Homo-oligomer: A and B are copies of this chain.
Amino acid sequence: MRDLLVWRRDVRHFRRDPLPTGTLEELIELACLAPSVGLSQPWRFVIVDDETVRAGVRRAFAKCNAEALAAQQPSRSALYARLKLAGLEAAPSHLAVFADRTTEQGHRLGRLTMPEMIEYSAVTAVHTMWLAARAQGIGMGWISIIDPDTVAALLDVPPEWKFIGYFCLGYPEDQSSVPELEQEGWEERRPPAKFIIRR
């Protein structure tokens, strides 16, 4: 378990060879074993194969990434520009995940004080998928540098679905237990004790 957690990485450098037929569907099936508030299973998966849609997503990412670059402090913009923050060109599989706050499944149990539990449940499904993929040698990358409304429009999903993330999946070009952002000098991880207080 520890090995899996240490190895698990957000991947942005993918080989172009496709995942075996049915693999993405199997990973989604495992993701559906995730916990969800009130057993509401609010996750909604959109498998994106259409090349026109994919091209639209690439443009949407490029636009937001250019804006993020422009917003960097001058001292960090060169470093930011060097980072590879998506693997949209090479990754053979694309997936978008949404959460449906309007679902009646679960009869709203656990959602009165914290309606955001719906989004959190979809995130546990995403992370389940991430770990299940990694256990099979498959890499996954989470793209958040993108405008949620643009993605929803490109994918023509129901307006009540909240965008959780756009994901690239495929075999990683290389493997490392050190996050790419740490390798590149963007940020370093802090010891766990820094994040704990006691009451």
A residues near B (Cβ < 8 Å) are 1-2, 4-6, 8-10, 25, 28-35, 37-41, 43-50, 53, 64, 67-68, 71, 73, 76, 80, 83, 85, 105-107, 109-114, 116-117, 119-120, 123-124, 126-128, 130-132, 135, 142, 144-148, 155-157, 163-165, 179, 181-182, 186-190, 192, 195-199
Contact = CB atoms under 8 A, between A and B. Distances in A.
A128 B34 CA distance: 11
A181 B29 contact: no
Contacts of A68: 109, 112
Given A38-B181, A39-B188, A128-B127, A135 B1 contact: yes
A110 B41 CA distance: 26
B120 A164 contact: yes
A110 B144 CA distance: 6
Contacts of A116: 119
A41 B124 contact: no
B132 A127 contact: no
Contact of A64 (B30, B112, B142): B112
Nearest to A104: B187
A24 to B, nearest CB: 9
Given A45-B196, A113-B148, 12 more contacts: A1-B30, A8-B35, A25-B196, A32-B195, A40-B187, A41-B190, A47-B196, A50-B199, A111-B144, A114-B163, A127-B128, A155-B199
Contact of A39 (B43, B114, B182, B197): B182
Contacts of A73: 107
B148 A114 contact: yes
Nearest to A134: B1
